[in-house]
Each structure stands twice: as structure tokens, then as C-alpha cells.
Chain A
Amino acid sequence: MSEVVTEVVTKAIVRDVELPYGAGTMALITLDNGFDHTKPNTFGPLGLASLDEALDAIAARSDLAAVGVIGKPFIFAVGADLKGAATVASREEALEIGRLGHRVFRRLGELGVPTFAFVNGAAMGGGLEIALHCTYRTIAANVPAVSLPECFLGLVPGWGGTQLLPRLIGPAKAIKLIIENPLAQNRMLKGADAFSLGVADAMFDSADFLEESLRWASRVLSGAVSVERPSFAGDDWDKIVGDARFLVDMKLHGAAPAPYRALDLILASRTASADEGFAAEDEALADLLMGDELRAGLYAFDLVQRRAKKPAGAPDKALARKVTKVGVVGAGLMASQMALLFARRLQVPVVLTDLDQARLDKGVGYVHTEVDKLAAKGRVSADEANRLKALVTGSLTKDAFADADFVIEAVFEDMAVKKKVFAEVEEHVSAECVLATNTSSLSVSEMGSGLKHPGRLVGFHFFNPVAVMPLLEIVRGAATSDETLATAFAVGKSLRKSSVLVKDAPAFVVNRLLTRFMGEVFAAVDEGTPFQVAEHALDSMGLPMTPFALLQLVGPAVGHHVSETLHAAFPGRFGVSENMAKLVASGKPGVYKPDFSLDEEAVAVFSGGSDPSTAEQVRERVLAALAEEIRIMLDEGVVAAAQDIDLCMILGAGWPFHLGGITPYLDRLGVSSPRFLPAGVASVPA
């Protein structure tokens, strides 16, 4: 592995424990990297060597009744040290990563005495695999995260996971952990879920987890407790794996290799010997480690984990003003969603204003209903629900903003309307109050130009649904002050959003790229490309939605409006589809019916072109357009770097890790020239 990466070494510390009930001596291995729980235990070559050394000493002894493995407080182990994986330069090196992990971990299953994993905290990836190599496992009821996230990043659980888990809990449940959860936003299991799936044999409270685990282990050793292991030989493995492959295909269309490799390995585990199975994992791991999809995944993971937490270009945090009350202009759905989010996350009074009492009542009523739903689900307590409901109020007049520190508008997407609204707001608020616009496409600079204090206005662009989508595009207008910007970033952080600083450019980042992307597809259909050909021409990217499904989510009217705005700004690159205008006029919600079948009438709106393209032509056209648009955006300085484009597309559009957002994919295909990112950043170094 590369010398530049320094490993935080997880040490394996061995201590003898006299087991209760006279069950003999256990060598208890503590995995501990010497830091607190904020830096979890991981495994690189030095950590594996430490475990290997500990196992050497244990294997040399004949006085042991059992061996145990436990983590440090709150953490068992969270797998391989990924910093190392991103620098692997040769397949031989990649192969060695798999082999080394197998060679060390499998010893836990081959010591000749029973081994017990005491999963006292988060167990992910290779951390969970350590436990799987042991003969038995106990888990603490408070463990917050158990997962095999490898497929999420573009790997397979390659230190035994694909071989051991299916045999332990059966192929169907193993697929849930190895494939389904990672592909569902990397969902994690809690301790109790892992126990009920059979990943652990016993579960104990955290208060005296080790003590009770050791008592249980002693009873297992004495035979007082017997652990039943069901057989899954009777399961229809081919069908279960086949069904899973179908679902993966629906999602990815082959765009990312890892889940397919994992399925192959799971199927093989039914009959493979340990040697064969582990060797197959080594090969899969080496192939994937030397594949660009994984490198893009690691790059994307780093963006989401690190760059998203330190937004490029954000001003000094110390400049941020304290926000103790929030105003929302408007009481429509978007405004109500924002009010709920502000109240929940900032826990300050939020006042909605509208000229119409009925709309106001409806808006505040929406918030109250949503809070009740949260309470019914147990997400907030009854007291918390009362508090949140009391925080959100409505007012017909804007004097309610007098003591607000942050006022955001969510009124009709029209420059004149918004300017008028802010002029009124400015009559009432303090000179320091930050004003924010949720505009998705209008110029923040122009909007602020009529203000008495233009420095106070900032763009604060949420994505729908507001409560769910993690991205916030924070737009700096020509006059926006550092204090205003810093406050916007601080508020974004309090809202638990990932903020990206963008320049005041039409439709900012996500909507501009999505509109360009969809526009090319719609144009192809308008020109006569059969609907299904265009709609599925980009399936091989493995995007979360097809272009027309995305249109349906956004709504044809809104989509069309944004395309008109962009057409006005960049008429050469952004077209306006007349057929789309017809679809909007028809009032239909899109080309799909509620049951996702095609509405042939709606599709027919797009017929009539005489210059059809092939799927490949559509694909080339769209990718070239994306590359062109991103290059222009970077040249214009819409964001600081290609990394921010990718971060926006991952968090705002749900574009997948295996594309690295988008620029690594375009680089990979050679569509971008020159490359957006140097070779090796999100790809295998040449």
C-alpha cells in the first residue's frame, strides 16, 4: 500500500479472563485504535498484523477454553481503512488486500477452540466480518449500526462476508444485508435487527453487556446453552439470487459491477469450500478495487463525508449572526414545509405570513398535522410536539417579522413579486435581519438590487421534498455580505443540510444540469426518436429515475418554466419543447399513470418528429451536453470546483456513487476533454 497514507492502527490487545461457572480461561481480544468513538476502529495492514500477532500468541497456548473479541467503547470495528484502498495502484496489490484480510480473519474460525465475538458497538464491513468468522456472536441492544456497506461504495464484503453470512442466516437475509440495504441509501441495522436476522446468537443490554456475554459464553461452553443453527440447504438459492439480480438490474441496469459480483459470490457460497469461497472473494475484490466505479464511489463518499461538511468558499463561521426567530413569507406547501423544518431543527419561533387568512390557516394547519404525524410515529414526544406546534404561527401582516433574524420567501417564482415582497419585509425588520430567497432560477443580485440593505439578501435553494433532500444551494448575489453568507451557512448546518456555495447564475447547479439533461432527451423525442428509445437511452448510467419519471416528479409546468428561464439565458444550449408546452396545457401530470404504466395520450403529444436518433446517439448527445454545460459552469465560476458539481448532483439529484456524481463518469468515458479531474482522483491511476 502507498507510503503517503498513514494508518491509524487498530491494536489487538489480549487479556485473560476467568470465565464464570468454572468454564475456564478465555483470551479476550480488545480491538482499540487508541482514540475515542469519534474515530472508529478500522483495519489496514498494520492493524491486521497486530491481530495476526495476537492470534499467534493465542494459538501457541493450550490452556484456553475459548477466545473472545470485543471492540472499544461504543465501537466494535467498522471495516477496512478506506484511505488505503483509494491508493492501490496494481491488481497484485489489490489481490493482496483480500488475501491478507482472509488469512488473518479466518484464523478466528480455525483456532481449535470456540471463538466469540462480543459486538459491543458499531460493526460495519470488515468489522462485521471479524464477528462472522467467530464461532458465536453476542450483540448489545444499543448498537446503532450493523451493516455490510461495501456494495454502497462499489466493493463486495471481501473478507469472508459473502461466504459466511449466507450460510449463517440464509441467502435471502444475507442479500438484504449485502445488497438491498447498501443500495437503499446504505441503510444500517440496529442491534436488535441484527439479532432478529440471526446475525448474532444472543443480545444483551449495554449496561453489563460484556459480563452477561461472558456468562452466556460460559454456558455455551458448558453445554447449558446450545445454539441452534438452521440449515438453508433446502432454500431455492438459484431463485432467491435470481430474483435479487432482477431487482438490482431494475435499479442499475449493469451500471455498477459490485452488487452483481456479490450475488455471484453469495450463490457460490452454497457449495464452495472456505478456500474456494475466500479465493473467489479475493478475485472479486481485486477486480473491483482496480475498477473505476469503486474509485468513483470512494471519491463520492469522501465528498459527502468531508467536502460537504466544509463547504468550499464559505466565509468565517464567526461572522454568522444568531438566529432566534424565523419569518417565512407565504403559506403554501413549500413555505409550510420550510416552517416545519426551521421549527424542528432551529427550535425557534417561526412565523408564516400571507395576505389570505384561509391560506394562512391551511399553512399552519399543515405544520400541525405533520407534527402530529411525527408524534404518532414516536419521532417526537408529546411535549416536543406541543413545543413545535406552539413555535409555528401565522400572521396576516409582516410586522410579525419585527424581531426575526432570518426571513425567507417562498412566494410565486416571479421577479417583480419577490422584489415587492422583500421591499415590504424590509419595512419591518431590523437592519441586520438576513433575507433569503428560495428561488430556483431567478437572479439573486437583481432581486436584492432594490433593497435598502442589499447585502442582507442571499439565495437559499432547497430541494423537494424539503425535509428529505440533503442539499442546499446557497447563492451569493453581487452584494451579499460575508455576514449574511456566514449566517446562511450556519442556518443550513443547523437544518442538517449540506450546503454548497454557488454563484448567482441561472438555475444554479442541479436544476441547470438536470434541465440540460432532460432537454436533450425531450428534444430527441420531439425530433422523432421513439419515446421508449429516448426514455431508456441512459439506463446504463444507473440513475435513480428516467428523464420522464423525473419530469413527473418535478411537474411538467415547473420543469417547463425552468427550461424557459434557461432558454432565455442560454438560448443556444437550452431549447424549449413545444410538445412540452402542449403537455403542460393538457394538465396531465406527466406521461406515466399512477400505476407507472404509460399514458399513451400523453406520449402521443410528443409524436410527429421526422429525424429519429438511436439510443446510442441520444446517449452520446446527452453526455456531450452535460460535459459541455459543466465546463461552461466551471469557466463561469458557478461553483469552486468540479467536486462541487458532483456533490450537488449526488445530494440534490441523487446521482449515484458509481458515477462519482457525474464528472468522474464523463472523464471515464472520455467525453470530457480535457478531463475534469486528474486521473487517480476518482479513477484508477493510469
Chain B
Amino acid sequence: MPSSRDVVFVDGVRTPFGRSGPKGLYAETRADDLVVRVIRELIRRNPSLPPERVDEVAVAATTQIGDQGLTIGRSAAILAGLPKTVPGYAIDRMCAGAMTAVTSVAGGIAFGAYDVAIAGGVEHMGRHPMGEGVDPNPRFLADKLVDASALSMGMTAENLHDRYPAISKQRADAYAVMSQEKVAKAYADGKIQPDLVEMGIRTAEKGWGLATADEAPRPGTTLEGLASLKTPFRPHGNVTAGNSSGINDGATGCIVAARDVAGELGLRPKMRLVSYAFAGVDPEVMGVGPIPSTERALRLAGLSIDDIGLFEINEAFAVQVLAFLDHFGIPEDSDKVNPYGGAIAFGHPLASSGVRLMTQLARQFAERPDVRYGITTMCVGMGMGGTVIWENLAA
């Protein structure tokens, strides 16, 4: 058994992301069916991969009950028609679920336990609202382990504005407008569609239909429009529905493989995993998480921030992206950062987003052979950050 070997990202796809709620695309669509569609599409797009060569299916969901329960990696693998010899499991690191699915199977591949794995995530926040069924231990507050605001992601974002007074609501809104514009342009340029798998949807009232594009983007968003939005987490606060990601439904997935095996199977890997790291921070300012996780990942890779040519950072909140960019001295309009826009426009179905970042980075890598390294990073509830550094195999 080899002690370590290169791990590569072969291919990633996702369903279009819907707006949660009774009028959303997936109002009456099951979460596991979203995952099934993604798995089947991955197999279909990579015909040289025999399905029985998939050694693991790791699927993340934050709320692992109902149609996101039943060890969703395994149940979705069976529902997708993978051979029953293919095992699967479920993962949870809230927003970084899919990212953790990738790093977990990558660890297994590097160790030699797997050759090829499918990793992804799903969150149907309409069927499973944030916090469904949670039962926080009273000691969190009694023992002052965390601030009372730590379990409300919007409040942690307001807390971040307190920590970084230089990040104003004006800057956050401007960043949000830019994200919407970039997504609209990426759609117009056909950058997003190739990695979307259209999803059959049905409601009792409207019958069958087909989800072909993200539902959340609001092209034409203006600063004036954003300025008028309410700040639900604090009177006269900074965080609005406009400068945050929304409440969404969607699933993502990707094929991760040992580099040598990918070659043997005739797969065409897009990125090599260089390093990854997760880090903990105070839960009440969970948005700063990507800073220490990125520093750690860079250190592990022996790289500096200047070596990174492309950033895919999850836009849970504009303030959290700005905090990251300010920390590393990166201009907020840098073309290295989220070139196709981010979660403020696409939406953020919690545990699924990590693989969306990777899929988009892979596509950017293909367009930018001049870039050698890129990172995907995101903040995580309960005070964490996660970062994965990738090398461009198109370079």
C-alpha cells in the first residue's frame, strides 16, 4: 500500500440552485433526488470510469434527517444505480460539508485506501430550515463558551462589521452588486452552464418541469436597491438579504481520484490537490475562519498568498469576503477573486457549496493556463474556516 500519492479533481457538476420556499424550483423535489442526479451525471460525463471503480461516495448535508438522512452517501449511491459494492457515507461540517467530503476522500486516496471517490454535498434548506432539530447544550451559554449570537449566522456577520470598522455597509453592498454583475456576465458568457445538470422538477399544482439555471441571481441589482433593504439581524445594522447569500436548495458532486489511477482509466483531471486546512475561530465571528485556514494551508504547501492566482471564496456574507481580502491585502475588485461571481448571487445551499467553488475554479484554470495555483475557501458555522489549495493541471 503506498503511503502517499497525488490526488486530483477530475470533474464536478451541480444542480441549478433554487430559492427555498413554497414557490422555489425544488419546493416539492426531494434532496436525495438532487444528489442522485448529480452522481448519475458524473458517471455519464466520464464514461471511461467504470462505476464499480468508485470506491467511496461521501455526501455532506448539514441537517441529516428525512430525505437528507439515512446515510445519504450510501442511500444516494444505491438510488443512483451505482453497483451495490460501492460504499458510501454521510458528512457534516455545515457550510464546508462538501469541501470536507473532498478532503476526507482525498486523505483516503493519498493513504491508498481508495483509488476513485465521489464527493459532494446537498442542502435543501426549504425542506430542512437551518437549525432544524438542533438542541444546543445549555453549557454553551451558561459557561460562556460562545456568545449568544454565535448560532445566528447573520448576527456573526454583524459582529464582523464590529471587528473590522473599515468594512462599511456601503462596501458590502458594492461588493454584492459586483457579485451579481459577475454572475450575470458569467451566465451570458456560458461559463456556468457546462457544469450544471438540469433537474426534473414537479409540483402537484404545476406538474413536471425542468430546472435549467440558478434561481437566486438577481441581475440588475443596484446599490440604491440594496440600500433600501432591511437589516434583520440588528436595527440600523449592516447585513441584509442583498449582501448575504440566500436560503437555497441544491446539490453538488465531483470525482476525486489518485492521479496515477485517473491516468490509467483515461480520466482527464483538472486540478491537483496541493494542501488543505481547517481552522477554528471564535464562533461569534465565524466569518474570519478562512483567514487562519488559508494561512495554515499555505504554510503546509510552502506557498505564499502571492503564489495564488485565483481565489474561489464562498460569499456567505460580503463582510466576510472583505475581511479576508483586507487581511491579505487583495483589492476587492481583483480579477483573481471569484471571477464568475459568488454565493451572494448563486445562492448557498449550505453543505453543497464547497464543490461549487472547486468546479468553478477548475473551469477558470482551464481558461487561465498562466495560473498555477488557486484556492477554494469558506467560512463555517460554529467558528471555522476551510481552505483547499489546488494546482492547475491545464498549466
Contacts and interface: CB of A to CB of B under 8 A. Distances in A.
A17 B209 CA distance: 6
A207 B200 CA distance: 10
A323 to B, nearest CB: 33
Contacts of A15: 206-209
Interface stretch (A194-202, A208-216, A422-430, A516-524): A208-216
Given A207-B80, A211-B37, A13 B207 contact: yes
Interface residues on B, range: 10 to 19
Contact of A34 (B199, B204, B206): B204
A205 B36 CA distance: 12
Nearest to B205: A13
A205 to B, nearest CB: 6
Contacts of B36: 207-208
A288 B67 CA distance: 50
A20 B208 contact: no
A635 B39 CA distance: 67
A194 to B, nearest CB: 20
A28 B209 CA distance: 7
A210 B210 contact: yes
A207 B79 contact: yes
Q: Is the interface of B mostly helix, strand, loop or mixed?
A: mixed
B79 A211 contact: no
A210 B207 contact: no
B207 A211 contact: no
Interface string B185-224: 0000000000001111010111111101000000000000
A18 B212 contact: yes
B208 A210 contact: yes
Nearest to A17: B210
Contact of A14 (B200, B205, B207): B207
Contacts, number: 54
Contacts of A34: 204
Contacts of B296: none
Contacts of B207: 13-15, 28-30, 32, 70
A670 interface: no
Contact of A73 (B40, B202, B210): B202
Interface string B114-137: 000000000000000000000000
A70 B210 CA distance: 13
Contacts of A17: 209-210
B40, B198, B199, most chain A CB atoms within 10 A: B198
Contacts of B205: 13
B90 to A, nearest CB: 20
A14 B212 CA distance: 17
B83 interface: no
B37 A208 contact: yes
Interface in A16-50: 16-18, 20, 28-30, 32, 34
Given A30-B202, A73-B202, A211-B200, A205 B210 contact: no
A13 B205 CA distance: 8
Contacts of A70: 207-208
B40, B204, B207, most chain A CB atoms within 10 A: B207
Contacts of B209: 15-17, 28
Contacts of A208: 36-37, 40, 200
A207 B37 CA distance: 8
B172 to A, nearest CB: 34
A18 B210 contact: yes
Interface in B267-286: none
Nearest to B199: A211
Contact of A207 (B40, B204, B210): B40
Contact of A32 (B40, B204, B210): B204
A34 B206 CA distance: 11
B81 interface: yes
Contacts of A30: 202, 206-208
A70 B37 CA distance: 19
Nearest to B200: A210
A29 B206 CA distance: 10
Interface in A315-357: none
A567 B46 CA distance: 77
Contacts of A28: 207-210
A205 B81 contact: yes
Contacts of B208: 15, 28, 30, 70, 210
B81 A211 contact: no
Interface in A119-168: none
Interface in B68-126: 79-81
B36, B80, B204, B209, most chain A CB atoms within 10 A: B209
Contacts of A29: 207
Contacts of A209: 200
Given A13-B207, A15-B208, A32-B204, A20 B81 contact: no
A34 to B, nearest CB: 7
A17 B81 CA distance: 26
A16 to B, nearest CB: 8
A207 B75 CA distance: 13
A221 to B, nearest CB: 15
A544 to B, nearest CB: 42
B270 to A, nearest CB: 23
A51 to B, nearest CB: 13
Contacts of A16: 209
A32 B210 CA distance: 17
A208 B251 CA distance: 15
Contacts of A214: 198, 200, 210
B206 A211 contact: no
A39 B1 CA distance: 57
A34 B203 CA distance: 11
Contacts of A20: 198, 212
Contacts of A73: 202
Interface string B346-369: 000000000000000000000000
A482 to B, nearest CB: 43
Contacts of B204: 32, 34
A199 to B, nearest CB: 21
A336 B210 CA distance: 55
A241 B170 CA distance: 81
Interface string A56-79: 000000000000001001000000
Contacts of B37: 207-208, 211
Interface in A73-106: 73
A604 to B, nearest CB: 64
Contacts of B80: 207
A377 B199 CA distance: 38
A13 B209 CA distance: 11
Interface string B219-231: 0000000000000
A32 B79 CA distance: 25
Nearest to A211: B200
A210 B209 CA distance: 9
B26 to A, nearest CB: 14
Nearest to A213: B200
A247 to B, nearest CB: 40
A214 B197 CA distance: 12
A17 B201 CA distance: 10
A72 to B, nearest CB: 8
Contact of A13 (B81, B197, B206, B212): B206
A357 B36 CA distance: 56
Nearest to B209: A15
18 contacts: A13-B205, A15-B206, A15-B208, A15-B209, A17-B210, A18-B210, A20-B198, A28-B207, A28-B208, A29-B207, A30-B202, A32-B207, A73-B202, A207-B37, A208-B37, A209-B200, A211-B198, A214-B200
Given A18-B212, A207-B40, A208-B37, 10 more contacts: A15-B206, A15-B209, A205-B81, A207-B79, A207-B80, A210-B210, A211-B197, A211-B200, A214-B198, A214-B210
Interface of A: 13-18, 20, 28-30, 32, 34, 70, 73, 205, 207-211, 214
Closest 10 CB pairs of A and B: A30-B207, A13-B207, A210-B200, A17-B210, A15-B209, A211-B200, A30-B208, A18-B212, A15-B207, A70-B208
